Amino acid sequence: MTIKAILFDKDGTLIDFQRTWGVAMHDVLQHLSNGDADIMARMAKIVDFDVQSGIIHADSVFIGGSITELVQRWAPLIKRHGDTGLEKEVNVLFGTASAKTIKGFATTQAVLKELKQAGYQLGIATNDTQANAELHMDALGWTSHFDMIMGYDSGHGTKPEPGMVHAFAAQCALPPCQVAMVGDSLHDLASGKAAQALAIGVTTGPASREDLAETADHVVDDLEELLALLDGLQA
């Protein structure tokens, strides 16, 4: 069936994950640990973050999970277990820090523009907050390309659940089988498959082609290759 709408993951798919979040993660950890090197190292280990290189590893809860899960694991280390305001504070910290470091891939803007001109409806489904996703798109000047932007707090569940894909399909007045879910992680692909959408992996994030190929219907190396794939599918 013809694909008429595309739902993108954000980090690692539309924006350069390591260049955006490596520096931001360091700043957030330093703030939350109050500069205590031991606590910062223990928090970094929880999130699989290499403080020296600034690399967040592919199996990090920061990639596959949500801020809620991350905060629950960090809270005891900074003696804030049960602090109901911590999650909001961490979201704000990440939003502020990443807005300073955000880097889109070189071709993302042009690809989004071409997809819109071709008549596709476009959306974002991220396990970041909706506010941060909107902040990032505004900072990059990409907001106008999207018909819907959703985060883990938008009321449609989180990836790998299918809720955000279903919500986007409903917004577009399409069956899920006419939606392509495009992402750089297995959570993105599992979300698409669970919703019976087309699952397209992209290797611009931490996951390898081999990792993505186990779940994806198709795997591309970048968004320009996505354009070629979509053209072929339509033909």
What pLDDT, in 10s, does the model give residues 104-116? 999 999 999 999 9
The pLDDT value given to residue 93: 95
Question: What's the mean per-residue pLDDT of the chain?
Answer: 94
The percentage of residues in the chain with a pLDDT greater than 90, rounded to a whole number, is: 88
Q: What are the boundaries of each domain within the chain?
A: 5-16+104-234, 17-101
SS3 content of the chain, % helix, strand, coil (to 5): 50, 15, 35
The pLDDT value given to residue 1: 66
The pLDDT value given to residue 67: 85
Q: pLDDT tens across 42-99, in order? A: 999 999 999 999 999 888 888 877 788 899 999 999 999 889 999 999 999 999 999 8
Q: Please report, for the chain, how many H helices and E strands are present, in that order.
A: 11, 8
The alpha carbon of 159 is separated from its chain's Cα centroid by a whole number of angstroms, namely 10
Per DSSP, the three-state class of 3 is coil
Cβ neighbours around 47 below 10 Å, total? 19
The pLDDT value given to residue 158: 93
Which residues does 225 contact at the CB level (< 8 Å), separation at least 6?
Answer: none
| Residue 168: both structure tokens together | 């986007």
Q: What pTM did the predictor assign? A: 0.89
Domain 5-16+104-234 matching CATH 3.10.20.310: the answer reads no
The pLDDT value given to residue 64: 74
pLDDT(182) > 90: yes
The pLDDT value given to residue 65: 75
Question: Pick from 64, 32, 53, 103: which is nearest to 189 by CA?
Answer: 64
> For 151-165, what is the mean pLDDT?
96
> For 213-234, what is the mean pLDDT?
95
Q: pLDDT tens across 167-181, in order? A: 999 999 999 999 999
> For 6-27, what is the mean pLDDT?
95
